[in-house]
Amino acid sequence: MLDLLKERILISGGSGFLGRALAEHLRGLGCKNLFTPTSSDCNLLERAQVARMFNTWQPSIVIHTAARVGGIGANRANPGLFFYENTLMGLNLIEEARLYGKLTKFVGLGTVCSYPKHAKVPFREDELFDGYPEETNAPYGFAKRAQLVMLQSYRQQYGFNGIFLLPVNLYGPGDNFDPASSHVIPAMIRKFDEAARTGAKGVTLWGDGRPTREFLYVQDAARGIALATAQYEKPEPVNLGSGMEISMFDLAVTLAKLTGFTGEIIWDKSMPNGQPRRRLDTSRAKAEFGFSAQTSFEEGLAKSLAWWQAQRANTSRSGTVPAAC
Q: How big is the chain, counted in residues? A: 325
Q: How far is CA 172 from CA 20, 108, 193, 296, in A?
A: 12, 21, 16, 12
How many CA atoms lie less than 13 Å away from 124 in the CB half-sphere? 5
Q: Confidence band (pLDDT; 50, 70, 90) for 181? A: confident
DSSP 8-state class, residue 107: E
CATH for 4-318, options being 2.60.40.10, 3.40.50.720, 3.40.1190.20, 3.30.420.10:
3.40.50.720
The candidate with the shortest Cα–Cα distance to 47, out of 10, 87, 96, 11, is 96
Number of H helices, E strands in the chain: 10, 12
> Per-residue b/e over 4-28, b at no fewer than 16 CB within 10 Å?
beebbbbbbbbbbbbbbbbbebbee
pLDDT tens-digit profile of 119-145? 999 999 999 999 999 998 899 999 999
Query: How many Å apart are CA 184 and CA 248, to the nearest integer?
Result: 9
Judged by phi (left if over 0) then psi (alpha if -120 to 50, else beta), residue 290 lies in left
The angle at the Cα of 4, spanning 23 to 100, to the nearest 5 degrees, equals 90
Q: Confidence band (pLDDT; 50, 70, 90) for 56? A: very high
Least confident stretch, 48-52, 199-203, 220-224, 317-321: 317-321
pLDDT of residue 315: 65
The 3-class SS string of 146-181 reads HHHHHHHHHHHHHCCCEEEEEECEEECCCCCCCCCC
pLDDT of residue 316: 53
Least confident stretch, 190-204, 255-269, 307-321: 307-321
What are the beta bridge partners of residue 246? 213
* pLDDT surpasses 90 at 169: yes
pLDDT tens-digit profile of 88-109? 999 999 999 999 999 999 999 9
Cβ contacts of 209 within 8 Å, gap of 6 or more: 247, 248, 249, 252, 265, 267
Report the percent of the chain where pLDDT is more than 90.
88
Return the sign of the alpha-carbon dihedral for residues 256, 257, 259, 262. positive
pTM assigned to the model: 0.93
Cis before residue 122, ω within 30 degrees of 0?
yes
Q: Confidence band (pLDDT; 50, 70, 90) for 274? A: confident
Domain boundaries, the chain: 4-318
Read off the amino acid at residue 225: I
Q: What is the dihedral of CA 246, 247, 249, 253, to 10 degrees?
A: 0
Cβ contacts of 301 within 8 Å, gap of 6 or more: 171, 185, 189, 254, 255, 258
The candidate with the shortest Cα–Cα distance to 189, out of 261, 93, 287, is 261
Task: Residue 82: count other Cβ atoms within 10 Å of its Cβ.
Answer: 25
Return the sign of the alpha-carbon dihedral for residues 209, 184, 75, 182. positive
* pLDDT surpasses 90 at 74: no
Cβ contacts of 198 within 8 Å, gap of 6 or more: none
DSSP 8-state class, residue 133: B
**Centroid of chain to Cα 160:** 24
Provide mean pLDDT across the span 176-190: 91
Provide mean pLDDT across the span 189-210: 96
Phi, psi dihedrals of residue 264, rounded to the nearest 5°: -90, 140
Catalytic residues: 140
Query: How many Å apart are CA 5 and CA 30, to the nearest integer?
Result: 6
pLDDT of residue 180: 82
Provide mean pLDDT across the span 49-70: 95
